[in-house]
Structure 1
Amino acid sequence: MSAEESPGKRRRGPSMADVARLAGVSGQTVSRVANDRHNVDAETRDRVRAAMNQLGYRPNSAARALRNGEYRSIGVIVFELHSFGTTRTLDAIATAATIRGYSINLVPVLDVTQSAVTNAFGRLGEQAVDGVIILIEAHTLDAAGVRLPEGLSVVVVDSSAHYDYPIVDTDQRQGARLATEHLLDLGHKTVWHLGGPPTSFAADRRRRSWEQTLIDHGREVPPVYDGDWSATSGYEAGCRLAEDDQVTAVFVANDQMALGLLRALYERGLAVPDDVSVVGFDDMEEAAHFWPPLTTVRQTFAEVGRQSVDALIAEIHSGEHHKVPVAVPTELVIRKSTAPPSNRN
């Protein structure tokens, strides 16, 4: 047994020269195929790739990155990984990046502070990423005084961010307006609002749009009930809303709180939508299976992910920041939780 084949000694993997010999081409041609260059005819490219597969050859991605100046890797800095909107957006970003041939390096931050975000950028720098998507609400970033690094391609998934980077988000204002106008069009005198946390950008935009829509239609603006995105907070607010006979329609800032509200109304003998109409926001998969099935505003997370990745890759390739906000449209999905008002009030 030779030293090269002795136990405990790692065998040398196939080299570029091995692939060239098997495919009957030059090493330069193999290099072109490995680096996805286009100046190789299709037949030769197929023959080289077949040789790579037969030998188990894998191009050295690190070396290729040094040659091409691109790692084909995107960093994502994220806060509150457990929330529905964040998980759906992150899934959409990962899918879109994979389609474009990029890998994802995820760095969660436990708290949004200048040092935490700076450390996250440092960790991603060590992992050699081409650019970064920040999935943290801008209200939180602004409050922490976070400064983003210069000379790096960055996209912020939040349309309130005050940074010179591309900004992508759901059109929060449009969604809240659609929900509120739907209830007014059904004949409700006004619409109550169960909002998300006051510190949340999304909750703030939805709240402001709901209020402005009522003002534009000359309707009374009722007091806001704040929740924390959870079904429990929706239930607690629902118990208070159920005590007011004037409440006939409620726009809820997300579907999970709407679920809690539905339970509170049911426990107090109020029928949805006969006594109170309810509209949510998100269109989570379960919303169609609530009882009654929930009328809600659909966010297209897949489009948010695609637009975010496309904007970042455009920055990576151009080397320039393009601060053009992208607002992904929403859609009102009408189900059985809304109807014209009864004579309850």
Structure 2
Amino acid sequence: MTGGTPTPRKATRRDVARLAGVSDAVVSYTLNGTAPVAATTAERVLAAVEQLGYRPNQAARALRSGSADTLAFLVPSSSDPVFTNPFFGEYASTLEAAARDRGYALYTTATSFHPDEVLARFREFAARQIDGVLVLAGDTPLDSTALDRVGLPWIALNVATRERGVASLGTDLRAGAVATTTHLLEHGHGSVGFVGQDDPSEPRYIGWLQACAAAGVPAGPFVAAEVTRPGGRDAGHRIVDDRAADPGRAPRAFFVASDRTAVGVLRAFHERGIRVPEDIAIASFDGSSEAEYAWPGLTTFRQPVDEMARSAVTRLLATDRDHAHELFPGELVLRRSCGCPDAGR
């Protein structure tokens, strides 16, 4: 014979109905909002729920309705986690708020973006009655045909260029790079360098080249850097070394492909006694909170995360599915790193 106090039985919907003096259906209508219920009746039901500590069985409800009222946010896993980048942390927060406004929870999970692994996660989501998947696109192409066969609606985020057959959205990176580089040139610099990934097809790289060409100034130098703080710091030290080796040819301004990389560049400059913007001006991309609280404050091209999050959730839950690519404009936020007075934003 074992001792101890028996675990109390969980309250059921029928218990709530009995205490409130209503039918089981009225309890469901009150809690789910699926049919109108008189205000006084709803008050009795909610009082009974609180008194009994009733919690609906969401798993059973999902099985009955075919919906868990939950969306999945799938992000790439790597040695440099996505959420160490403040921009993507803020993006996830706005997605969660947009989902909640529509009555959905948001489940965030990371995976390798190997096609077989992504497909396995989609099948897992379908088995759990997840209602749709928001995919933070990585460097590995998605097998859209295989994913569509799973039957879940999904949309790819952070996408710069359209891919046929994929619902997607992102910021106009090329236009943002043009605007940011052009602003640096308007400060009178004879050339503007670029710090970013070594990929000539990358829209920010293309935009930088286009802005320099339009102004009739030489583009360069290009300084390859990983999109990380350490990558930016390493790039910053190389910039200072090159400047010391040939002071006459060293540019006095750089466009940096991300805020996170720019913070690393700033640290390298501080370590080597380079003043920003007096010796070298910089501007970056993303518009994260990290840019605002860097020293000096970073001029940055802000991605419209609120608008993108709301659109992503709306399109994911729409009855009529589309495979359109939605491109959003951003906003150049001026601070002291480029030579402008810090507006404090």
Same fold (TM over 0.5): yes
How big is the shift at 1:72? 0.1
Q: Tell me what 2:205 maps to.
A: 207
Structure 2 segments unaligned to the other structure (5+ residues): 341-345
Matches within 5 A, 1:78-227: 78-80=75-77, 81-82=81-82, 83-84=84-85, 85-109=87-111, 111-137=112-138, 139-142=139-142, 147-150=146-149, 151-159=151-159, 160=161, 162-196=163-197, 198=199, 204-227=202-225
Identity of aligned residues (%): 34
Amino acid at match of 2:28: S
| 1:21 corresponds to 2:23 | no
Q: Tell me what 2:282 maps to.
A: 278
Amino acid at match of 2:315: A
**Quick one: structure 1 residues 164 and 122, their matched pair in 2 at CA, closer, same or farther if it must change by over 3 Å?**
same
How big is the shift at 1:130? 1.0
Does the CA contact (< 8 Å) of 1:197 and 1:229 recur in 2?
no
- CA displacement 1:217-259 (0-9 Å, x = unmatched): 3332224211111222223222333324330110001122222
SS in 1 for 2:16: helix
Q: Tell me what 1:338 maps to.
A: 338
Does the CA contact (< 8 Å) of 2:197 and 2:226 recur in 1?
yes
Amino acid at match of 1:16: R
- Distance of 2:39 and 2:49 partners within structure 1: 15
**Quick one: structure 1 residues 197 and 76, their matched pair in 2 at CA, closer, same or farther if it must change by over 3 Å?**
farther
Amino acid at match of 1:53: E
Q: Which gives a bigger RCO, structure 1 or 2 (Cα 8 Å, sep 6+)?
A: 1
Question: Could you say what the CA RMSD is over the residues aligned between the two structures, in angstroms?
Answer: 2.7
Q: Tell me what 1:299 maps to.
A: 303
Q: How many residues align?
A: 325
Does the CA contact (< 8 Å) of 1:195 and 1:225 recur in 2?
yes
How big is the shift at 1:180? 0.9
| 1:73 corresponds to 2:74 | no
How big is the shift at 1:192? 0.9
Does the CA contact (< 8 Å) of 1:113 and 1:145 recur in 2?
no
Does the CA contact (< 8 Å) of 1:156 and 1:166 recur in 2?
yes
Amino acid at match of 2:206: R
- Distance of 1:307 and 1:135 partners within structure 2: 14
SS in 2 for 1:141: coil
Amino acid at match of 2:324: V
- Distance of 2:174 and 2:209 partners within structure 1: 11
- Distance of 2:230 and 2:10 partners within structure 1: 57
SS in 1 for 2:219: coil
How big is the shift at 1:193? 0.5
**Which deviates more from structure 2 when the two are superposed, residues 224-233 or residues 146-155?**
146-155
SS in 2 for 1:140: coil
**Quick one: structure 1 residues 233 and 28, their matched pair in 2 at CA, closer, same or farther if it must change by over 3 Å?**
closer
How big is the shift at 1:42? 2.9
How big is the shift at 1:329? 3.0
How big is the shift at 1:157? 0.5
**Which deviates more from structure 2 when the two are superposed, residues 173-182 or residues 55-64?**
55-64
- Distance of 2:40 and 2:51 partners within structure 1: 17
**Quick one: structure 1 residues 209 and 14, their matched pair in 2 at CA, closer, same or farther if it must change by over 3 Å?**
same
SS in 2 for 1:188: coil
**Quick one: structure 1 residues 126 and 233, their matched pair in 2 at CA, closer, same or farther if it must change by over 3 Å?**
same
SS in 1 for 2:177: helix
Does the CA contact (< 8 Å) of 1:14 and 1:55 recur in 2?
yes
- Distance of 1:65 and 1:124 partners within structure 2: 13
- Distance of 1:116 and 1:161 partners within structure 2: 23
- Distance of 1:232 and 1:279 partners within structure 2: 18
Amino acid at match of 2:116: S
Runs of 4+ deviating beyond 6 Å: none
Does the CA contact (< 8 Å) of 2:62 and 2:129 recur in 1?
no
- CA displacement 1:95-146 (0-9 Å, x = unmatched): 322332212233311x321211112112222322011111122x4225x898
**Which deviates more from structure 2 when the two are superposed, residues 160-169 or residues 249-258?**
160-169
- Distance of 2:212 and 2:53 partners within structure 1: 65
- Distance of 1:148 and 1:259 partners within structure 2: 37
- CA displacement 1:292-340 (0-9 Å, x = unmatched): 22212222333333322222122xxx1x321232333322111111239
Amino acid at match of 1:241: I
Amino acid at match of 1:30: V
Q: Tell me what 2:343 maps to.
A: none
Does the CA contact (< 8 Å) of 2:126 and 2:152 recur in 1?
no
Amino acid at match of 1:91: S
- Give the alignment's TM-score, normalised by structure 2: 0.83
Does the CA contact (< 8 Å) of 1:107 and 1:124 recur in 2?
no
Structure 1 segments unaligned to the other structure (5+ residues): 1-5, 341-345
**Quick one: structure 1 residues 293 and 35, their matched pair in 2 at CA, closer, same or farther if it must change by over 3 Å?**
closer
- Distance of 2:131 and 2:333 partners within structure 1: 38
How big is the shift at 1:163? 4.9
How big is the shift at 1:266? 4.2
